[in-house]
């Protein structure tokens, strides 16, 4: 029998004792998953996505000192389309949450991975080396399908996760948010760093890769090596490492320059506005429109009143040009974003910004309905790769 794979192989800051305990705990759980599928006799191949595919889990300790996996366990179940209506499969996620509440398990059903792209495809390709359960053979996913455009899209996803989080926005909780906004904040900054490496030759896969490249000159304009190490440790050992207060808007702006086609680390507001305008004119579809509008909105938060208005005017102009064919959630309220009647200066946590976010969240729901099909070619994708959706149930 093949020895179980090391779930913590790429962890940087977890001790050997923690790795050993976590491996035992997770492989016991995976054995349960295998037995469940064997009992049902459903043709399926089961993978774990996300940080478990990259073998860099995040952990935390309870108040009683008990070690817990903090990363989600995103089970991706590859099964023929005709089996996806099976009642047991459809209720598997709720069953796991009820009977194994110590894990935050999600279940995504996919019937065809040939159209998979982005980080989802790359993570699944890694996970295909050690499936949790497999009753038939699957062709390897082409992880080279990941490209700089997908990196840009993932950055937009992480920005949304951070700034639309209830603890930041003051709005009601979404179904796909982690409880702690701080965790999204850490992941956003690490993603800002990870996506600076845009070539396969860089060998950057996970957040652990960022740590090992923390002295790379491509990161120097964003963060110093010591802070990068601190953030890596804070993600792996959540709740035990104090992180400094950082200028998140400056970090975001600096990291997005390469995604917007700049070959230098300093640009003027005029140059940044012109580039956002230029890129947003390529297509009026909701996907690029949401992405460039969101960036204009976020960049506005680092400006004085006059500078902010320039970015907000672009934000509204992009959304006025946007095709409304795919709008459902935001259809009746889009005018709130396009009219640009905000008289109060916006900051990250003031009431005026929070009020604006109510409609941005509606637009994001429409955006993700289109984006999820692009990521996997399916109507359902794992929560880790998902955007805010209406709450389940």
Residue 41 inside a domain? The answer is yes
- Ranking 17-26, 158-167, 293-302, 384-393 by mean pLDDT, the lowest is 384-393
Of 116, 145, 174, which residue sits at a domain end?
A: 145
pLDDT greater than 60 at residue 177:
no
Residues 110 and 152 reside in one and the same domain: no
Total number of domains constituting the chain: 2
Residue 57: pLDDT over 60: yes
pLDDT at 173 over 70: no
pLDDT of residue 355: 87
pTM of the model: 0.88
For residue 1, is pLDDT > 60?
no
Residue 142 has pLDDT above 90, yes or no: no
Residue 228: inside a domain: yes
| Per-residue model confidence (pLDDT) at position 169 | 58
Do residue 119 and residue 166 come from a single domain? no
**Does residue 276 share a domain with residue 172?**
yes
Please check whether residue 113 is in contact with residue 389, taking contact to mean a CB–CB distance below 8 angstroms: no
pLDDT tens digits for 343-391?
889 988 888 898 899 899 999 989 988 887 666 555 443 443 443 333 3
Q: What span, in angstroms and rounded, lies between the C-alpha atoms of 41 and 268?
A: 61
At 381 the pLDDT is 39
User: Chain-wide mean pLDDT for the chain?
Assistant: 88
One domain, residues 80 and 208: no
For residues 27 and 107, membership in a common domain is answered with yes
**Per-residue pLDDT tens digits for 288-319:** 999 999 999 999 998 998 999 999 999 999 99
User: 44-53, 79-88, 149-158: which range is least confident on average?
Assistant: 149-158
Q: What is residue 391's predicted lDDT score, i.e. its pLDDT?
A: 31
229 and 352 housed in the same domain: yes
Task: Report pLDDT for 301.
Answer: 94
The residue out of 145, 175, 207 marking a domain boundary is 145
Between 55-64, 98-107, 157-166, the lowest mean confidence (pLDDT) is in 157-166
Domain match, 60 and 170 both: no
Res 373: pLDDT: 65
27 pLDDT higher than 50: yes
Count CA atoms closer than 13 A to 102's CA, side-chain side: 13
Mean pLDDT (whole number) for 323-336: 92
> What is the domain extent for residue 91?
16-145
Query: Above 70 in pLDDT, residue 118?
Result: yes
Q: Are residues 79 and 209 in the same domain?
A: no
In this structure, are residues 61 and 68 in contact, taking their beta carbons and an 8 Å threshold?
A: yes
Q: Is 184 in the same domain as 316?
A: yes
């Amino acid at each position: 029998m093949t020895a179980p794979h090391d779930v913590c192989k790429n962890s940087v800051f977890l001790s050997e004792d923690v790795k050993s305990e976590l491996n035992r705990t997770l492989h016991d759980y995976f054995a349960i998953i295998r037995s469940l599928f064997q009992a049902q006799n459903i043709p399926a191949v089961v993978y774990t996505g996300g940080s478990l595919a990259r073998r860099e889990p995040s952990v935390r300790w309870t108040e009683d000192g008990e070690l817990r996996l903090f990363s989600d366990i995103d089970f991706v179940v590859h099964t023929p389309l005709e089996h996806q209506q099976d009642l047991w499969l459809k209720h598997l996620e709720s069953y796991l949450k009820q009977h194994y509440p110590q894990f935050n398990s999600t279940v995504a059903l996919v019937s065809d991975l040939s159209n998979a792209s982005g980080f989802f495809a790359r993570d699944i390709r890694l996970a295909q080396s050690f499936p949790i359960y497999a009753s038939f053979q699957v062709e390897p996913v082409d992880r080279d399908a990941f490209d700089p455009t997908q990196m840009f899209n993932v950055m937009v996803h992480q920005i949304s996760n951070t700034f639309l989080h209830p603890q930041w926005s003051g709005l009601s909780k979404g179904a796909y948010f982690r409880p702690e906004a701080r965790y999204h904040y850490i992941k956003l900054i690490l993603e800002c760093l990870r996506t600076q490496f845009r070539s396969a030759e860089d060998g950057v896969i996970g957040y652990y890769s960022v740590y090992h490249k923390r002295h790379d000159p491509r990161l120097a304009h964003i963060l110093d090596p010591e802070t990068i190490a601190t953030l890596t440790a804070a993600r792996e050992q959540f709740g035990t490492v104090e992180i400094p207060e950082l200028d998140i808007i400056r970090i975001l702006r600096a990291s997005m320059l390469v995604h917007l086609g700049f070959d230098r680390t300093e640009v003027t507001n005029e140059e940044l506005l012109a580039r956002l305008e230029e890129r947003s004119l390529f297509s009026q579809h909701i996907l690029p429109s949401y992405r460039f509008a969101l960036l204009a909105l976020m960049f506005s938060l680092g400006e004085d009143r006059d500078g902010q208005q320039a970015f907000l005017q672009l934000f509204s102009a992009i959304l006025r040009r946007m095709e409304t064919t795919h709008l459902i959630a935001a259809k009746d309220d889009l005018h709130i974003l396009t009219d640009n009647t905000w008289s109060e200066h916006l900051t990250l946590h003031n009431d005026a910004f929070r009020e604006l976010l109510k409609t941005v969240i509606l637009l994001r729901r429409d955006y993700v309905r289109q984006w999820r099909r692009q990521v996997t070619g399916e109507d359902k994708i794992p929560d880790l790769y998902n955007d805010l959706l209406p709450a389940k149930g």
